[in-house]
Amino acid sequence: MTIVLFTIFSFTGCRRRDSIPIDNVFRFKEILTVDGLQRTYTLNLPPTYYTSSDFSLVIAMHGGGGNADQFETTSKLTDKANTAGFIVVYPEGVQSDGLLKARTWNAGGCCDYARDHNIDDVNFIRQLINHLISTYKINPKRVYATGHSNGGMLSYRLACEMPEKIAAIATSSCTMVVKQPCNPSRPVPVLHMHSVKDEHVPYKGGVGISNAYFPPVDSVLNVWSAINACSNPAQVLVNDNRYKYTKWSDCEDNATIQYYLTQDGGHGWPGGLPGGPNSDTPSTVINANDLLWDFFQQYQLP
């Protein structure tokens, strides 16, 4: 495994990442070679990084056709990370060889180039976590995965295949499309956010705009309820003209499953910006960044 470092300096000068340098650096664009592929990512450290320790890490994965810069901008997650004091990393899917050079993740049954070329994105994220934990002041028990659309789908796959690394997941505008049975070694808390107006990945399941079939979100979360051994069935706690909030509780290891289904928005990151010029307007009745951080803080690996 080879690491090539491209650093964005706040000033100039050298520094160590585990102590207070003369010139603090908070943002990095790096390349990690995994399985012979050069994998890229952007890392952001919070303002308190060089004076504190024991940081949580949130892995934030873009949707199909997106990239690190786009997802950072449209999600506004770096603003939340800087305010709340956690580290966020934006890895990038492998670029296709087509005209659009679209980046996708291999989440199992989706999507496109990454799926068709059997890219091992689970191993990429595993190696990324190992590298970041060994390099930065990260608590290995407090690593979380989140993602939009195709990135959310990969979050589900990580929960199935790498639960020893991921304490909890939070997903938006997606569903689970794993091809192998999901048998994690431990319960994994799940937060899911979706819009009733999402036509790209319909929450009721079916064929979206991309002509791919997606399983219904309710059925996916019921599967996770069984995996997490939740003794309470789904309870609807809020159901009004803004959103429907459903929770599965009394699960093994106190893992919960929470589901926000908004009446507004579409295929977008709630509380964020549209993903592009022709993208849906995100929901404004919930804020994904606030919800996921409140959710993640409840959980850590045993």
Which comes out higher in pLDDT, residue 209 or 104?
104
Report whether 34 contacts 18 (CB < 8 A): no
- State the Rg of the chain over Cα: 18
For 171, list phi and psi in degrees, rounded to 5: -125, 155
Single out the residue of 218, 194, 197, 217 nearest to residue 209, CA to CA: 197
Sign of CA dihedral 266, 269, 272, 275: negative
Compute, in degrees rounded to 10, the torsion defined by CA atoms 290, 293, 299, 300. 180
User: What domains are defined for the chain?
Assistant: 2-296 (3.40.50.1820)
Per-residue pLDDT band at 17 (split at 50, 70, 90): low
Average pLDDT over residues 208-214: 87
Residues 208 and 253: their CA atoms lie apart, in Å, by: 35
Of residues 13 and 89, more confidence is placed in: 89
Judge if pTM exceeds 0.95: no
Number of neighbours of residue 11 by Cβ within 10 angstroms:
10
Q: How confident is the model at residue 13 (pLDDT cuts 50, 70, 90)?
A: very low
State yes or no: pLDDT of 118 exceeds 60: yes
User: Given a cut of 70, is residue 179 above it in pLDDT?
Assistant: yes
- Average confidence (pLDDT) over 204-216: 91
